[in-house]
Chains A and B, each alone.
Chain A
Amino acid sequence: MTHPDPSPHSSPRMPSHTLAELSPGRAARVLEVTGQDNLRLRLLEMGFVPGTLVRIVKRAPFGDPLELRVRGGHISLRRAEAARIGVEPA
């Protein structure tokens, strides 16, 4: 997957939003996954690594969780989990 900034390590940018704040239909690029637990690891392993493009597909009927499209697959996260993913809108 090609992305405009091939080495996200060289110029760390501060995320302006978290994934939980974006409305359905919007897309954003992952900048960081925060936290000090194995959820961080799991989110990274599911493909939410810095540089990856994510699209918010929809919210579940009760407003939570979210359906996200990442790396060609669809993943559902609760908003509390999506709030751990810092992004910049694309």
Chain B
Amino acid sequence: MSPSSSVRIALAGNPNVGKTSIFNGLTGARHKVGNYAGVTVELREGHVRPEHAHGRLLTLLDLPGTYSLTPVAEDEAVAFRALTGSVGAPPDVVLLVLDAANLGRNLYLALQLLEQGRPLAIALNMVDVAAAAGLHIDPTRLGALLGVPIVATVGRTGQGLSELVEAALRALEAGPAAPALALRQRLLAPPDPGEPLASALAQLPEIDPARARALLGARAAGTLDLLALGPDERRIAERIAEPLAIAAAAELVCARYREVDQILAGLGLAEHTFEGAPAMGTSERIDRLLTHPVLGLVVFVGVMALLFTSIFAWAEPLMGQIELAITWLSGQTKDTLGPGLFTDLLTEGVIAGVGNVLVFIPQIALLFLLLGLLEDSGYMARAAFLIDRLMARVGLHGKAFVPLLSGYACAIPAILGARTISSFKDRLVTILMIPYMSCSARLPIYVLLISAFFEGDRDVGPFTLGGLVLLGMYALSTFSAIAIGALYKRTILRSPTPPLVLELPPYRLPRLRNTLLQVYDRTGDFVREAGTVILAMTIVLWALLSFPKPPEPDARATATTEQVAPEPDAAIVTSIGGRVGRAIEPILEPMGQDWRVGIAILGSFAAREVMVSTLGLVYGIEGADDDDRPLREALRGARDPDGAPRYTPLSALALMVFYVYACLCMSTIAVVRRETRSWRWPLFMFVSMTALAYLAAVLVYQVGHLLGFS
């Protein structure tokens, strides 16, 4: 290979071994996040910085952190496919990051990589942590045992990075050394006859031995479809009965671990060295508090309250600033261009749409920042450990708790936060549950209706009536989310409760820089992928609520004459949206609503809280979103032609229940499309939630009526 040609290096390693620090150190954190069809796992790719690259053009591909290459789940499958070249070009050399303090399990992946036969170099990372724990691992000795170039690194400080690249190039140019070849030969040796492995491999004679072992693993895990195999290979692999494949794959795992134990013995690491390793001593001491039966739960509630407050309250000022900036920009545009259709398109369509995207950024960035820091510190694994028992009752993993909780603030960051769940089905169940959680955008609607139709301040025991109704809405939303999750887990997304098998890594100080880079990547992804859809929907919605224009002079003329009640905003009433609102009145009547509420419901598709200002416009009240008192009065005083009140406490309750369930949020739909990479699930979510909302609201109104309430 000529020194000028480009080299592709894949970075592999277990989770929590400091792979990200090494990737950021080598590339200077300039990278792109790869999007592979059908894959939700993030794959980053970047060029090695010139000061580390030894005059070569080196591309570094960051594989997902995995414990093995056996495709038990999507992460391993992506790593395997990237290594074997079924996505993109196969890497020229693999750089494996090992945690020096956790070789007992980390070496397993090393042996699987040796088995696959790609040129391999090793970063023995966190040698400082291991040394502090009394584990002195000699890199030279380990390199000699494995027959692989190896460099001791400290990812945090960048120690050993240049030597690491040199080692990778050496591995590429020199090829495997004798011990590596011998290891590979032992791993690929024909198995003992009579054992399941022998019978299984006998059915794959036409396949290369290393590839055959990988296929056996995938067949055993039931994930052949994750490997993007050719039809021939797939047919051959499917010949093997699954129980046989499992027994054979188990034999392979044990054989690899026997080699691991040999290497550990060669390093002088006896079993008791691991048993008493004081590094975990520190972590175990911290865990005495953080996973304590009582205090641990107190801390858990505190941390969750902090997470929740951050997206509920801390993001608020920033969101206010963004809204102010958008209003200012909109005003400037109006002043500069003068009134007109184009101005409206620009201000109420484009600028408002950009605002609808930007306004989520504070919440998304804050949630990912805190989640990233907690994940990096090792606490997220403990949080899942603490709460798993309760989540398992719904059939979910402990990791689903945080996204669900975040849903009370806003579904958008919550749905993005569900990425930590590795099983796609379980992630989807969680994503479908989140919009049922009563988000903060529903609050202004509850407040308007409660204060208009219930004596909010009336004392009911130690509570107020308003408080109790509000609590009821939150209880209904929580109960419904859990019931929906349990239902989907048993029907359309049926899958067993995912096994926990969760590593509790040692506590570490989180690395702010890595986390900030991740926040930047993910926020950017939201703006690009979901933002464009939100922008387009805002423009469409604006058009629906603006066209056709009312006959201007007449409408204005009547509006200026003296009237007892303010006139409705003519534009919204005569628009397509307004006409649809009128047309659906018969459908809304069973839930106790009229066409005015119909228009407000359509308007709130932009975001639920827009319902208040839209209903205000229909009643000719400007700025109801800032001060809803005039609107409250208008709603309370509204009379039908026969003199009966147009709305009652019962119809208000039905409308609130409607808003608990209805998926009136185009941003949620855009984000679900991004996360599931199809329109199927967001459409399913919209239709099912809206249908449920309608049925529930009709039920409340009709049953209430029968019971004599009004």
Contacts and interface: CB of A to CB of B under 8 A. Distances in A.
B630 to A, nearest CB: 50
A14 B704 CA distance: 65
Contacts of B280: 69, 72, 74
A41 B104 contact: no
Contact of B386 (A39, A53, A60): A60
Nearest to A67: B504
Interface in A28-87: 33, 36-47, 49-53, 55, 57-58, 60-65, 67, 69-78, 81
A11 interface: no
B424 interface: no
Interface in B286-314: 287, 291-294, 296-297
Nearest to B130: A72
Given A33-B250, A55-B275, A74-B504, A47 B220 contact: no
A1 B261 contact: yes
Contacts of A78: 388, 392, 499-500
A38 B72 contact: yes
Nearest to B243: A36
B549 interface: no
A42 B275 CA distance: 22
B68 to A, nearest CB: 5
Contact of A73 (B72, B105, B271): B105
A16 interface: no
Q: For the complex of A and B, list the 10 residue pairs with the smallest distance between their C-beta atoms, beginning with the closest.
A: A71-B104, A72-B274, A62-B389, A38-B221, A74-B504, A61-B293, A44-B253, A72-B104, A76-B502, A49-B257
Interface in B52-109: 67-68, 70, 72, 101-105, 108
Nearest to A29: B271
B194 to A, nearest CB: 12
B270 interface: yes
Interface in B228-264: 242-243, 246, 249-250, 253-254, 257, 260-261, 264
Given A41-B217, A44-B254, 7 more contacts: A41-B253, A42-B72, A61-B294, A62-B390, A64-B392, A76-B381, A76-B502
9 contacts: A36-B243, A43-B501, A52-B257, A60-B388, A67-B504, A69-B275, A70-B104, A74-B504, A76-B503
Contacts of A36: 242-243, 246
A30 to B, nearest CB: 11
Nearest to B283: A74
A43 to B, nearest CB: 7
Contacts of B249: 41
B272 to A, nearest CB: 9
B503 A74 contact: yes
Given A33-B250, A41-B250, A47-B108, A73 B388 contact: no
A67 B277 contact: no
Given A45-B253, A67-B504, A72-B104, A53 B271 contact: yes
B345 interface: no
Contacts of A45: 67-68, 70, 72, 108, 253
Contacts of A3: 261, 271
Contacts of A44: 250, 253-254, 257
Interface of A: 1-3, 27, 33, 36-47, 49-53, 55, 57-58, 60-65, 67, 69-78, 81
Given A40-B250, A61-B386, A1 B271 contact: yes
Q: Which of B242, B277, B500 has the most CB of A within 10 A?
A: B500
Contacts of B499: 39, 42, 77-78, 81
Nearest to A43: B501
Nearest to B195: A9
Contacts of B264: 1
A32 to B, nearest CB: 10
Contacts of A73: 102, 104-105, 503, 505
A65 to B, nearest CB: 5
Contacts of B294: 61
A65 B385 contact: yes
Contacts of A33: 250
B293 A75 contact: no
B164 to A, nearest CB: 23
A63 B221 CA distance: 29
A72 B67 CA distance: 14
A76 B381 CA distance: 9
Nearest to B271: A1
B417 to A, nearest CB: 21
A3 B104 CA distance: 14
B274 A76 contact: no
B444 interface: no
Interface in B373-394: 381, 384-386, 388-390, 392
B265 interface: yes
Nearest to A50: B254
A73 B135 CA distance: 14
Given A33-B250, A67-B291, A42 B501 contact: yes
B269 interface: yes
A36 B275 CA distance: 30
A51 B260 CA distance: 13
Nearest to A37: B246
B316 interface: no
Contact of A2 (B253, B265, B390): B265
Given A45-B70, A53-B275, A2 B270 contact: yes
A54 to B, nearest CB: 10
A78 to B, nearest CB: 5
A45 B499 CA distance: 14
Given A33-B250, A42-B499, A45-B67, A57 B270 contact: no
Contacts of B222: 37-38
B254 A57 contact: no
A43 B250 CA distance: 10
Contacts of B274: 1, 71-72
A47 B104 contact: yes
